[in-house]
């Protein structure tokens, strides 16, 4: 797909954003939300039925490329707690908000009193397209993350925030953390890609996205089908639909080229991270080198925590038996 119809897509996106703003404004003036000043955490049912959430975009540009940065909060919440969520190598930040039952990680963190920020790296999701898919590699993405954190600091007055990276997002946030520790409060490395996942020559600058590829990380049963006891079919449908809607037919391959290297090549320098860090993963994740992951606390600073969820995979945060455990362990680290 690359840059074809780029201008037309930008016009469509702007029209959609305008429509969302109009609808959101109508909702506010119609009194759709009610304030939460009780000082207690709000349940998913209360938030959806009574309180609701606010979402707004913040303009951000780096290197001449517009980056999508948005923020979700619980209506009526005034907070000085901010967390930025960073996506993986193929699909963008919509993944963190699977709005079904209480699966959404974004909304759980909002109910815990956080302003939850999401960034799409250049060329991904709702950020502007790039002509060279190899441009947004891991180091480039780390600079996008820093630009987002600086923008959040400007908007909120908070000099340092919490940052979570998932999958390739652990590589990019790990490099950000090593280079810009002054902007970081705590770091969460979810399903960390500490070393190469195997040598594979990535020659195409863009990855061809498919529905099947989007669903590939969900655990399978003995017949090779997605296991409905682990992955709720509604969640799978919503996840894949989001990938097709926001990420469309292609995604930049710079990050994929970075990680498709020898297992001996280290991708994250844990010893360069100076803030308390949560490393969290499942014990059934095909992308992880568990010999390295199990020893992370030997290299991370005091206050760091390692959590491994038995039975969970690369998508633990949306697996039926595990997502609540994942959320609870994350929240506990953030609240300690």
pLDDT surpasses 80 at 139: yes
pLDDT tens for 143-186 read 999 999 999 999 999 989 999 999 999 999 999 999 999 999 99
What are the domain boundaries of the chain? 44-335
- Residue 188 near residue 163, CB atoms below 8 Å: yes
Residue 56 CA: distances (Å) to CA of 69, 165, 215: 9, 21, 29
Count each helix (H run) and each strand (E run) in the chain, helices first: 10, 12
Q: pTM for this one?
A: 0.87
pLDDT tens for 280-323 read 999 999 999 999 999 999 999 999 999 999 999 999 999 999 99
- Residue 270 near residue 304, CB atoms below 8 Å: no
User: Of 120, 117, 34, whose CA–CA distance to 83 is shortest?
Assistant: 117
pLDDT at 78: 84
How confident is the prediction for the chain on average, in pLDDT?
89
pLDDT tens for 85-108 read 999 999 999 999 999 999 999 999
Q: Which residue has the higher pLDDT, 20 or 117?
A: 117
pLDDT at 51: 67
pLDDT at 46: 58
Q: 277-282 and 161-166 as β-strands: parallel, antiparallel, unpaired? A: unpaired
pLDDT at 99: 96
pLDDT band of residue 3 (cuts 50, 70, 90) is: very low
Q: Which residue has the tokens 């209506």?
A: 75
Q: What is the CATH code of the structural domain delimited by 44-335? A: 3.40.50.1820
pLDDT band of residue 45 (cuts 50, 70, 90) is: low
Beta bridge partners of 165: 86, 189
- Report the first-to-last Cα separation within the chain, whole angstroms: 45
Summarize the confidence of residues 196-211 as an average pLDDT.
Answer: 97
Summarize the confidence of residues 16-34 as an average pLDDT.
Answer: 39
CB proximity list for 117: less than 8 A, separation 6 or greater: 69, 70, 71, 82, 83, 84, 85, 148, 152, 161
Q: 277-282 and 184-190 as β-strands: parallel, antiparallel, unpaired? A: parallel
């Amino acid at each position: 797909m690359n840059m074809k119809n780029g201008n037309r897509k930008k016009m469509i996106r702007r029209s959609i954003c305008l429509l969302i703003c109009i609808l959101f404004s109508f909702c506010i003036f119609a009194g759709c939300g009610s304030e939460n000043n009780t000082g207690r955490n709000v349940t998913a049912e209360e938030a959806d039925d009574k309180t609701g959430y606010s979402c707004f975009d913040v303009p951000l540009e780096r290197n001449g490329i517009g980056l999508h940065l948005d923020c979700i909060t619980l209506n009526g919440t005034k907070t000085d707690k901010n967390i930025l969520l960073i996506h993986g190598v193929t699909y963008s930040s919509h993944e963190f908000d699977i709005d079904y039952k209480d699966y959404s990680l974004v909304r759980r963190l909002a109910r815990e009193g956080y302003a939850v920020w999401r960034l799409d790296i250049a060329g991904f999701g709702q950020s502007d397209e790039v002509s060279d898919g190899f441009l947004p590699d891991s180091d480039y993405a780390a600079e996008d993350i820093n630009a987002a954190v600086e923008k959040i600091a400007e908007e909120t007055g908070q000099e340092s925030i919490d940052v979570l990276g998932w999958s390739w997002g652990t590589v990019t946030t790990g490099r950000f953390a090593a280079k810009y520790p002054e902007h970081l409060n705590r770091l969460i490395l979810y399903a960390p890609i500490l070393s190469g996942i195997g040598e594979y020559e990535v020659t195409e600058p863009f990855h061809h996205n498919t529905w099947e590829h989007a669903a590939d990380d969900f655990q399978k049963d003995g017949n090779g089908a997605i296991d409905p006891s682990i992955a709720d079919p509604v969640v799978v449908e919503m996840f894949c639909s989001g990938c097709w809607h926001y990420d469309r037919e292609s995604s930049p391959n710079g990050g994929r080229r970075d990680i498709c290297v020898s297992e001996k090549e280290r991708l994250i320098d844990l010893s360069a991270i100076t803030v308390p860090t949560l490393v969290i993963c499942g014990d059934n994740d095909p992308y992880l080198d568990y010999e390295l992951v199990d020893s992370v606390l030997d290299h991370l600073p005091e206050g760091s925590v390692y959590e491994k969820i038995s039975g969970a995979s690369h998508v633990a945060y949306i697996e039926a038996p595990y997502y609540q455990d994942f959320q609870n362990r994350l929240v506990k680290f953030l609240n300690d």
